[in-house]
Chain A
């Protein structure tokens, strides 16, 4: 006879993300998001999931004072990002699964972020290796092909969404170095040296792949392609921004490592940005 209690009864109903006070409440909150997402994916009559099911207009715009307060407090998404031309187009093409096709200008994105939304319980880090892909509706998105995270909760959620996540031993994000350790060794790192680049071109990248990702969610024995996007205007405020050169390391035995030259040094950015609210966060099913 056995009883395993994972979440006590008084924490079993989901709270909003701002109300989460401990890991059990966070798990209950995240489970509820997974249920909403699963119901959206399974329902063939729905094409969009807006603000995790809360509907349009549910995310209010932050006041300038609140935004300023958050900037001062170090809140936001901070990380190092690059985008670079692939060296091996055959390998690149092998990641472009139907109904995706090659984009006009193939590019590989690599970034490592610290998502700090003011609550230490919900703070986590995330790496992304992405490839730009053309969706069947003619829009370009970034297909996530490897995503290190530091905990099982984020790993589980991502994997459900078709993000190939793994749990790292250790993750570090600073303005000059971001690193993922796996089985005691560096698996992904970005080393940033300020200066010496075309800042205007990098500014145009905005928040890089962030908010433009796509992935394949398992659905009815197959997979459903969906994208992340937003509607309703600019929803980010950049609080820190520094351009420079970034040395990229990917563990050679990872299949995606061959997408870029070993130890390549390319233009990139360290930045911290904040979500300002006032627009809608969307999941869209991409139809063929």
Chain B
């Protein structure tokens, strides 16, 4: 006979993200998000899920004073971002599963960020991205996530349920000059930024968040998958409160299949940036039709 209590009764109903006070409440909140997502995926009549099911226009625009206050408190999404020309186009093509196709200019985004959206240590986490750019059937480009390290099971479970190939690291570090994922005691992904004023800063600024806010995943559904593209729509532009251009050395563990997408120890222009969303827009999950 056994009873296993994971979540005490008084914490079993989901709280708002800003109300999270402990890991139980965070788990319950995340479960509710997963239930909402699954309803969207399962319903053939709904093509978009906006703001996790809350609908359009629910994210308020942040006043400049609030952004300044958040910037001062170290809040935001910070990390190292770069884009690399692929080294192996056949390998690249092998990731372009139907209905995706090769973009005009194949590129691989490599990013590692620290999400500190609210200043709440319970919801703060890190995430790496390896993502070749892909063309949707309607001709729009987005970035297909092919590997995604995270530091905890909660984020891993949620991502995997959405079709994202996440894994739990031993350790993750994000600083302005180095971002690193350790797995089984060894470096599995790292980005090292050396500030360099000779890089084309205007071109890097145009990259914005380097595809991090425009990703693709194949979500499991009904014995197959459904292609999802998530992105921001409308609202205030993301505000970079820290921004440093330079050259980024990327290391991907050679035994990982996706390592061959880029040259070994490639060095490419990139940035360290910390961004704060300006609000007023919508976060959209779209089912991409073939």
For A223, list chain B residues within 8 Å (CB): 220, 223-225
A218 and B220 within 8 A (CB)? yes
Bound complex: CA A150 to CA B2 (Å): 12
Q: Which residue of B lies closest to A7 (CB)?
A: B170
In the complex, A84 has a CB within 8 A of chain B: no
Nearest CB in chain B: distance from A136 CB, A: 12
In the complex, B275 has a CB within 8 A of chain A: no
Chain A interface residue bracket vs B: 35 or more
A13 and B184 within 8 A (CB)? yes
A225 and B223 within 8 A (CB)? yes
In the complex, B82 has a CB within 8 A of chain A: no
Most chain B CB within 10 A, of A42, A100, A150, A156, is at: A156
Nearest CB in chain B: distance from A218 CB, A: 5
B222 and A97 within 8 A (CB)? yes
B1 and A170 within 8 A (CB)? no
Q: Which of B7-15, B56-64, B190-198 lines the interface with chain A? A: B7-15
Q: What's the dominant secondary structure at chain A's contact region?
A: mixed
In the complex, B71 has a CB within 8 A of chain A: no
For A27, list chain B residues within 8 Å (CB): 153, 168
Q: Bits for A143-167, please: 1 = Cβ < 8 Å to B, else 0.
A: 0000000111101100110100011
Nearest CB in chain B: distance from A108 CB, A: 17
Bound complex: CA A32 to CA B167 (Å): 10
In the complex, B6 has a CB within 8 A of chain A: yes
In the complex, B174 has a CB within 8 A of chain A: yes
B27 and A152 within 8 A (CB)? yes
Q: What's the dominant secondary structure at chain B's contact region?
A: mixed
A5 and B97 within 8 A (CB)? no
Known: A156-B160, A167-B31, A222-B224. A150 touches B4 (CB 8 A): yes
Q: Bits for A26-37, please: 1 = Cβ < 8 Å to B, else 0.
A: 011001101100
For B151, list chain A residues within 8 Å (CB): 4, 6
Known: A28-B184, A156-B153. A169 touches B167 (CB 8 A): no
For A155, list chain B residues within 8 Å (CB): 153, 157
Known: A4-B125, A218-B218. A12 touches B170 (CB 8 A): yes
A175 and B31 within 8 A (CB)? no
For B4, list chain A residues within 8 Å (CB): 124-125, 150, 170-172
Bound complex: CA A221 to CA B9 (Å): 39
From B14, B124, B152, A2 is in contact (CB under 8 Å) with B124
Nearest CB in chain B: distance from A154 CB, A: 10
A172 and B3 within 8 A (CB)? yes
Bound complex: CA A218 to CA B160 (Å): 10
In the complex, A114 has a CB within 8 A of chain B: yes
Q: Bits for A172-183, please: 1 = Cβ < 8 Å to B, else 0.
A: 111100000111
From A97, A160, A167, A174, B1 is in contact (CB under 8 Å) with A174
In the complex, A73 has a CB within 8 A of chain B: no
A168 and B172 within 8 A (CB)? no
For B156, list chain A residues within 8 Å (CB): 152, 156
Bound complex: CA A160 to CA B220 (Å): 10
A4 and B257 within 8 A (CB)? no
Q: How many A-B residue pairs have CB under 8 A?
A: 153
B173 and A3 within 8 A (CB)? yes
For A100, list chain B residues within 8 Å (CB): 223
B6 and A170 within 8 A (CB)? yes
Bound complex: CA A124 to CA B3 (Å): 10
Known: A173-B2, A216-B223. A183 touches B161 (CB 8 A): no
B163 and A218 within 8 A (CB)? yes
In the complex, A1 has a CB within 8 A of chain B: yes
In the complex, A137 has a CB within 8 A of chain B: no
For A216, list chain B residues within 8 Å (CB): 220, 223-224
Nearest CB in chain B: distance from A34 CB, A: 7
Q: Which residue of B lies closest to A179 (CB)?
A: B3
A169 and B2 within 8 A (CB)? no
Known: A1-B174, A152-B27. A173 touches B157 (CB 8 A): no
Nearest CB in chain A: distance from B118 CB, A: 15
Most chain A CB within 10 A, of B156, B168, B223, B225, is at: B223
From A8, A125, A151, B2 is in contact (CB under 8 Å) with A125
B168 and A114 within 8 A (CB)? no
In the complex, A9 has a CB within 8 A of chain B: yes
In the complex, A72 has a CB within 8 A of chain B: no
Most chain A CB within 10 A, of B3, B170, B176, is at: B170
Bound complex: CA A14 to CA B168 (Å): 13
A169 and B12 within 8 A (CB)? yes
From A4, A98, A173, A175, B171 is in contact (CB under 8 Å) with A4
Of all A-B residue pairs in the complex, the 8 with the closest CB atoms, nearest first, are: A221-B97, A97-B223, A184-B12, A152-B153, A156-B157, A12-B185, A4-B151, A169-B7
List 29 A-B residue pairs with CB atoms under 8 Å apart, sorted by A's residue number.
A1-B173, A1-B175, A2-B116, A2-B126, A2-B175, A4-B126, A4-B172, A5-B170, A6-B151, A6-B172, A27-B168, A31-B167, A98-B223, A100-B223, A124-B4, A150-B6, A151-B6, A152-B157, A167-B31, A169-B5, A170-B6, A171-B2, A171-B4, A174-B1, A183-B12, A184-B9, A184-B13, A216-B224, A221-B98
Chain B residues at the A interface, C-beta cutoff of 8 Å: 1-9, 12-14, 27-28, 31-32, 34, 42, 97-98, 100, 114, 116, 124-126, 151-154, 156-157, 160-161, 163, 167-176, 182-185, 218, 220, 222-225, 227, 257
